[in-house]
Amino acid sequence: MKMRFGTEDPTVRDLMSRLLRAYRTLSTHQGDHPPATALPVQYHIDTGDTAPVMMKRCRHAQTEEKVIEDMVPT
């Protein structure tokens, strides 16, 4: 597997390679999508007495919108 780190520094490349190999089981690769965590993670956002706020959605190119729509279940 070819890895790109954005640097040619051999010390940094070696360290990053060792870190990625040591923790490779923390994520799962599922095709073209970004890797998802393999850990059983749950989280809760405490909003106190206030209702959650829905932020305005970020704008994406039409091609990106199609990819997002295909990835997100409705």
Within a domain: 46: no
Within a domain: 7: yes
* pTM as predicted: 0.40
Q: What is the pLDDT of residue 30?
A: 66
pLDDT > 70? residue 1: no
Within a domain: 28: yes
Within a domain: 67: no
Within a domain: 5: yes
* Domain coverage including residue 17: 1-41
Cβ neighbourhood burial of 29 (10 Å; 0-12, 13-18, 19+): exposed
Within a domain: 56: no
CA distance 73 to 1: 31
Within a domain: 29: yes
Total domains in the fold of the chain: 1
pLDDT digits (tens, 9 = 90+) for 10-41: 998 899 889 988 888 777 776 666 667 777 77
Q: What is the pLDDT of residue 25?
A: 79
